[in-house]
Structure 1
Amino acid sequence: MRIGILTGGGDCPGLNAVIRGIVKSAPENVEIIGIMHGWKGLVQGEYMKLTGDDVEGIHILGGTILGTSRINPFRSEEMRTKLEENIKKLGLDVIIGIGGDDTLSVTAKLASMGYRTVGVPKTIDNDVSNTDYTFGYHTAVNVGADAIDRLHSTAKSHGRVIFVELMGREAGWITLEAGLAAGAHLILIPEYPMTIEEIIGYINRRMKDKGYMIIATAEGFKPTELENVVGDKNHIDAFGHIKLGGIAHYMAEVVGERTGYDTRSMALGYLLRGGTPTAFDRLLGTRYGVRAMELVLKGDFGRMVALRGNEIVSIPLEYGIATKKLVPYEYYKLAQIFFG
């Protein structure tokens, strides 16, 4: 049996642990082909053979040894044709797609076309549905919380309002949990918009009482007054997403102008998904990889591995991409106790 594995979308801590888990748990009669640079590699025929020696110790490393990209092979008939030609040329019996909603949607599309596929959910945003956690998320929350921790002393020393921007296009999980853990005084996430005046109201009360403020904001947060999210509308990826970024800077400018407070902004950006994965993400990635191989060996295709409680289960691929897992109001309501 010949299995092709690939990593698509943004890099995140734990990807190498998944790769290692798949390769190390493969029996001797199974050959693992690592597709380079996600779906782009399968379109262009870029690959490498993977053995146990190739993945030795990689679970402690960030990023992905296979490289990644945001290519949608179904955007054109030419790309689709090359994709299918290379699947046949490489003699791939199974494809394991490791990625978020976009990568998994392609994996599911191939399954619907009759190809044997298995999906492994990956996104630091933690917004893949029907799984408790995705690997990389835990690391991102820890990095975000540490950064916010460090900003408290500066904000307090200078009497500043600091907006800290964290990743989260449609779901505010990272911002909520990092902000809550680090004691941010206001948390702004896409699921629960606020007006600029409401935000300024929180700021005025906090500044009058305490003299400084830290505001954690997700990159996909949009104040009610804005028609669109803040980002580079000229930069749109293969799946139709604009490049987000800049909401913290925008809010700091607006608040500074309207209140006269010394306002600053910081975007954590790629820091959240770079570097060494936490022990939790190493273990989760490893367990996902091993379970994915088990599904392949059982012939259980068109499935996605998922975490339910402490068990690694499998669900239909379409269940993982059906909806976005958003922050429930009860959780946001808990965070509101500590606003101000």
Structure 2
Amino acid sequence: MPTSRSLIPKAQVQPFVDSESRLGILHAGGPAPGGNQVIYAASLRARDHGLPILAFKQGYQHLMTKSAEEVESGWSMLIGREEIRYLRDQVSLLTGSGRANPGQNVRTGADMTDPERTAPLGRVIEVLDELRIGALISVGGDDTMRSANLIQMHLDGLLAKGKAPKYFRGVVHVPKTIDKDTPGIDYTFGYMSAAEVIGDRVKALHDDAKATATETELVYHVAEIMGRSAGWLCAAASVYGQATYAIVPEEFEAWGGVTMARLADDCCDVILTRKRQGKHYGVITIAEGLGDLLPAIDVNKDEFGHTRLDELKIAVHLADAIKRELSERVDIQIKLRSRTFGYEARQVRPNFFDVLLSQRLGVSAVDAILRGYFGHLVSVEGVLSAKFIPFSTLIDPETLKMHSWHMSKEEGLYRLMLSMQQQFDVDVEKKT
């Protein structure tokens, strides 16, 4: 006899079936490879238990601004066979995504008692309940996780007051970011695929520089790589793509800031060391998160208070600074070209690892709901074993923001990054 696909006791599923509840799922924030696979797997798992699943378009946007009838008719989709085929085979995110944030006005725990600030949270719960959503699967990064936590907190407050919604019971969250800076999970889906794609581009720049450099004219590329405040993506892509020298935020966190002149000075040390070794080419990678540590560059912030790192053009500034510094040290010709990598890696076909991880998280999200793990992050450990982590252990109680996870300078990927730079004959002591 085949093994049953369901390990969830029927008694735990029956209340959802009896109440004619549906499951809801939404994706918010920037896309990542594997987003469709999460929704695909969650939909199959829900169908195993006879539960319909309604996917909302463009994140929270329409749940905050439209009536339940409008959301049902134009801004959501009931996942059926046609949608499942698309989710299984296609890359571009079926539901689209959005950055609308129902918790944007909540800054501290005290704000949760302010009816005006929590009104958008209440509105989302009201619309979900009217749509017979028994539980919501939230897929997204740190801001989306924060929204999920605030919705759960607001719902818990309603329950404590005896104002329980008829259908809606809570939310679970699937972490998503190619930056891999989310605590509670070793690898977020999409990270491996994005690092591989960007690494391929870094390697192409390496080969281009090697092919075109001469003894009288050096050729270097400076590549800025996404990752926000953490260096995970830059480090992995740099190792995979054979970058000559990688610069990540973790290197300078103890300083509380760093200057472009300091970075250029280090890069010139690398370039001149390689020249003495007969190497006239290379690729320098820099994580976009260095922008938060460079006070000299003026830049706008988005509506959520985040620095618009894509506007900083760090690679351009660094290339210019290297040219100036190098001209003061030696009389030599150098071609320096700058690039920015990140957006082109957010909707590539997920690699084998990310397909497995995404599908496991989608299945586990439904299992978490049926087991009553509301207010939990859906994670994995070991060889794709499910793990559910309470929001409260991942959220700062003062700011209600998610903790950020950076590389350790003592072990792991950071040490590998340094070791592989040494493999390519770069012997420059870090000045930290």
**1:75 is paired with a residue of what secondary structure?**
coil
Cα shift at 1:223: 9.3
Task: Say which one has the larger Rg.
Answer: 2
SS at match of 1:337: helix
Structure 1 pair 69–232 and aligned structure 2 pair: CA distance change class (3 A):
farther
Asked if structure 2 preserves the Cα contact closer than 8 Å seen for 1:14 and 1:135, the reply is: yes
Change (3 A) 1:188 1:163: same
Is 1:252 the counterpart of 2:354 in the alignment?
Answer: no
Whole-Å separation in 1 of the counterparts to 2:54 and 2:207? 49
3-state SS of paired residue (2:83) = coil
| Correspondence for 1:335 | 417
Which residue of structure 2 aligns with residue 39 of structure 1?
Answer: 60
Please say which of residues 141-150 and 63-72 is displaced more in the overlay: 63-72
Instruction: Specify the alignment match of 2:165 in structure 1.
Output: none
Cα offset, 1:88, TM superposition: 2.6
Q: 5 Å matches for 1:84-103?
A: 84-103=125-144
| Cα distance between partner residues in 2 of 1:274 and 1:103 | 19
1:251-290 → structure 2 map (5 Å cutoff): 251-260=318-327, 261-290=334-363
C-alpha distance in 1 between matches for 2:55 and 2:220: 47
Is 2:404 the counterpart of 1:324? yes
Change (3 A) 1:90 1:313: same
Identify which of 95, 100, 105 aligns with 1:71.
100
The 10-residue stretch of structure 1 (36-45 or 84-93) with the greater mean CA deviation from structure 2: 84-93
SS in 1 for 2:289: coil
1:10 corresponds to which residue? 30
The structural deviation recorded for 1:299 is: 1.9
TM-score where L is the length of structure 1: 0.92
Distance 1:14 1:319, change over 3 A: farther
Alignment of 1:184 onto 2:205: no
Structure 1 segment 95-244 matched on structure 2, within 5 A: 95-113=136-154, 114=156, 115-156=169-210, 157-158=212-213, 159-193=218-252, 195-196=262-263, 197-209=265-277, 210-222=279-291, 226-227=294-295, 232-233=299-300, 235-237=301-303, 239-244=304-309
CA–CA distance in 1 between the matches of 2:40 and 2:323?
Answer: 49
For the residues of structure 2 that align with 1:231 and 1:266, how far apart are their CA atoms?
A: 20
5+ residue gaps, structure 1: none
Q: Distance in 2 between matches of 1:299 and 1:281?
A: 26
Give the superposition deviation at 1:23. 0.5
Give 1:29's aligned residue.
50
Report if aligned partners of 1:34, 1:49 keep a CA contact under 8 Å in 2.
yes
RMSD of aligned C-alpha atoms? Answer: 2.0
Percentage of matched positions with identical amino acids:
31
Paired positions, count: 336
Which protein is richer in helix relative to its size? 2
- Asked whether the equivalents of residues 7 and 68 of structure 1 are also in contact (C-alpha less than 8 Å), the reply is yes
- More moved, 22-31 vs 64-73: 22-31
Displacement of 1:297 in angstroms is 1.5
Contact 1:14 1:59 in 2 (8 A): no
2:123 maps to 82
Contact 1:61 1:275 in 2 (8 A): no
Is the 8 Å Cα contact of residues 165 and 217 (structure 1) preserved in structure 2?
yes
The letter for the 2-side match of 1:98 is V
Given residue 285 of structure 1, which amino acid in structure 2 is its aligned partner? S
Q: Distance in 1 between matches of 2:371 and 2:419?
A: 48
User: Would you say the 8 A contact 1:175–1:187 is kept in 2?
Assistant: yes
Distance 2:373 2:418 in 1: 44
Cα shift at 1:53: 3.4
Pick closer, same or farther for the CA change 1:119–1:198 going to 2, 3 Å: same
Q: CA deviation at 1:186?
A: 0.7
TM-score, with length taken from structure 2: 0.73
